[in-house]
Structure 1
């Protein structure tokens, strides 16, 4: 497609964007480094309690609660595994996300379809975070990659291989209050392969759901009355007519490279500034002259003014760290989950580390701090925690690198520079005749196989989900069918 941006094989992968790329502050009080770290097997998403003293962590096979009231000595309070193991189809696995609504913790999974496995929402009371108590479990007919808990409601990503809706439940009763799908907003999306319009994540503020739909962009939906959700606006929604005509090969290319790939969204305290995290990689291609090249690459976080949701306006793009090998088999430095607090944006970039940016002027974000340890840490999220003394704390969860354990890190909330920061490596060659520039007419030369790497593709052939099971779209459909029959 002519809207593609291509990557030079020098590895200097920077998608500056056409609007106000981020700047770097010239002076920091440094050094900038973690305050503390505690290992948590399988750590994925992390969320903060309302008092800022406790972190709940999704841990793949369970969840954990962590006391960070003494931030240089974080300690695990509870570590719960093999949830629902007493069920015939248990335990609950693939737990990538947890969310808090007061003292109520939602634990959801599996993130990806798992044939014959239980799926749903576990409701836990963590008013005593050292002794969590199960309150309820609501089984679903779909896997749940991400969720939001807000004002007694659970908002669930429901990639059912059909409409891929956002489903809204009453947390107290488990009753479905409503649902919304991009297909219901515009029936032309029904012709678009579900892999490129997966409902990946959701953020809810002041009755508005901000829904990341991968290559279908981000949609702003009024859910104040969940029975009658209504579209307020959209950000980079893509063209359903164009996307519906993609071949399997083109779909693979489209879903892994920019533009599109809306992965995570969140708003600032006012609700007027929207961050859109775009997760993407490079794909090896072949130029017209037969030389190898790379197309695509890691993406960053776009900042959008949505004070008028009917007319979102992009203010800037915060670029990703350059990767020495931006393919899915290489060193991931693309955007992942993030958080806003009081004019500061906290971002995670997998092995590219964590950063703080001043976004009080969203048209000119300023980098305040950057810390990375690419040989040991691959960061899933960065979240503001609480103020102490003259500054504050933010936390970041790492799902580990190789044999290095997954962990929760605590960081000081101040400006600074890392002492002797490690490099992310040198740029790779893409074959013996690698070109120094990519041809805009290059096309993908190979398909990605499901068994290549654990950081690749989901079971539905949609990226951004991680690889937990190697099943095909047909396998997913079979799973839905079995789940529905069992439910009926």
Structure 2
């Protein structure tokens, strides 16, 4: 059993109203997730917010909410990831996707909803095209498909392409099947060749699955001609782990496991740096992507406290990576006094060296400094940079742990500067919910809540004030824009080219508990 050495816990700056919640008590070495069934002490539980009660720091406030509607309003129609272009937000849902007009952030409105079932409908947008991931086995690639066992060879999973030149009436264009489906995908646009490359992450192979048999140590790369998206095709299947990757093993909590590497969960590309970071179940990697069809692993690490490498975010300089650990798969209450601050947390890695000698060096962990209840799923999840020149600040979703804004400019001493959260969906049972993704876009924080729909928040803090002057034409968070050197950003393609035209993100896909 690996001993646990908890990192110092950070607290909000004076600009934020101190939380009245009970502080997290660090777990002793070896405390297990088996203790999640044990309620928090009565004194602490009394300080937890009530059902749907909103608590926040003074510098992060909600200004709008649009509830899930129509066929997306059921409890099992989970809201998922987001992408932005101009004055529009595109939000995935297990049942399809919604287009919102966010020209007035205080009054967002629904432009259209597209019913196209297939978890988790991870989403990205580029010009007139929208891309959607399907990671649940379906009878075919159409939006009228029905669930069909993955053991049936004709079953389909992969990437769908839509034309969104008319946001009020998106049009299905094409689809590409990929091995083990498409849990998430990452857009890598190349304006020189008028091509959108999609790095498809998928996992959970099994010998009984004809389209997802082991070994699965690869990613799929889908090639979409921007001027002929109906010709989208599978272009490459590069193997990232020729040795099979991390073999898996016990987790130091005593009951969980550290997942073996059988593919990747998510990849973030930084086109301006020809660099990518992959969160690949049991491994974290950085890659050279100067040849988009042949990404090359530069360095690879494991973390003894990580159960499942989930996602990655570069700082603007490309000198750090924040990796997240989705302990419990997004469906467990891990923000408890019985769970170490190094479990289900972020890990901040500096990138040292240059060229092929670059290496990942872990400096610290970050976890929200508030306790949640045993009926609240809570763990580190999707977030983005807040574009502040000279600082490394991130806004991040923690499911029912809410939204946290935190500063990792000092890699060894991260600190939270703002937070916002709702109370539990239930005080008697764990109902999957909370913020799936929380991203900063053109002056506001947008959150896709699994059950509550789209939230819009305003962040007013001296540390982040300059971010309000940064305007992006487009934001696909896993296609990281460079903002600091220009003092602005434009949703750049490769080599700094502007994106094409256009109008003014992650469930276990039918293979277990929905993993985001």
1:356 aligns with 2:405: yes
1:157 and 2:198 are equivalent in the alignment = no
Distance 1:47 1:459 in 2: 21
Going from structure 1 to structure 2, the CA distance change for 1:141 and 1:303 (only over 3 Å counts) comes to closer
What displacement does 1:149 show?
Answer: 1.1
- C-alpha contact 2:119 2:510 (8 A) present in aligned 1: no
1:139 to 132, 152, 177: 177
State yes or no: 1:300 paired with 2:371.
no
Distance 1:107 1:188, change over 3 A: closer
**1:3 match:** 2
Shift of 1:167: 1.0
Residue among 192, 197, 211 paired with 2:278 = 211
Of 116, 132, 149, 1:107 maps to 132
The answer to whether structure 1 residue 180 and structure 2 residue 238 are counterparts is yes
In the alignment, is the contact (CA less than 8 A) between 1:21 and 1:364 conserved in 2?
no
User: How many corresponding residue pairs?
Assistant: 361
Over 3 Å counting, the alpha-carbon distance change for 1:337 and 1:410 in structure 2 is: same
1:408 and 2:454 aligned: yes
Deviation of 1:237 after TM superposition, in Å, equals 6.2
| Unaligned runs of at least 5 residues, structure 2 | 18-57, 139-148, 190-195, 204-211, 226-230, 250-256, 330-336, 426-432, 463-506
Given the two structures, how large is their TM-score scaled by the length of structure 1? 0.66
Contact 1:299 1:334 in 2 (8 A): yes
| 1:221 equivalent in alignment to 2:221 | no
1:104 offset after TM fit, Å?
2.2
Structure 2 SS opposite 1:110: strand
Secondary structure of 1:415's counterpart equals coil
Flag the 1:56–1:183 CA change in 2: closer, same or farther, 3 A: same
What's the offset of the Cα at 1:274?
Answer: 1.0
Cα separation, 2, equivalents of 1:313 and 1:75: 44
Deviation per CA, 1:371-393: give whole Å up to 9, x if none. 1113346110111111xxxxx20
Cα offsets for 1:184-215 (capped at 9, x unmatched): 2x246589999632421111112333111122
Q: Secondary structure at the match of 2:348?
A: strand
2:60–2:418 contact (8 Å) kept in structure 1: yes
**Closer/same/farther in 2, CA of residues 372 and 16 from structure 1, 3 Å limit:** farther
**For the structure 1 residues 128 and 229, does the alpha-carbon distance in structure 2 shift closer, same or farther, using more than 3 Å as the test?**
same
**In the alignment, what sits opposite 1:276?**
323
Quick check: 2:10–2:369 contact (8 Å CA) kept in 1?
no
Q: Give the Cα–Cα distance (whole angstroms) in 1 for the partners of residues 303 and 15 of structure 2.
A: 39
Task: Tell me if structure 2 keeps the 8 A contact 1:112–1:145.
Answer: no
Cα distance, 1:411 vs structure 2? 0.7
1:344 matched to 2:393? The reply is: yes
Contact 1:111 1:146 in 2 (8 A): no
Q: Does 2:438 match 1:382?
A: yes
Unaligned runs of 5+ in 1: 6-14, 84-91, 239-257, 283-292, 387-391, 401-405, 417-455, 467-488
- In structure 2, relative to structure 1, the CA distance for the partners of 1:188 and 1:71 (3 Å cut) is closer
With the length of structure 2 as denominator, give the TM-score of the two structures: 0.62
* CA 457–153 in structure 1, closer or farther in 2 if over 3 Å, else same: closer
Assess, with a 3 A threshold, how the Cα gap between structure 1 residues 234 and 264 changes in structure 2: closer, same or farther.
same
Once residues 382 and 234 of structure 1 are traced to their aligned partners in structure 2, the CA distance between those partners, rounded to angstroms, is 27
Are 1:59 and 2:93 matched, yes or no?
Answer: yes
Partner residue of 1:97 out of 122, 125, 139: 122
Contact 1:346 1:354 in 2 (8 A): yes
1: CA distance, partners of 2:6 / 2:220: 35
Q: CA RMSD in A?
A: 3.3
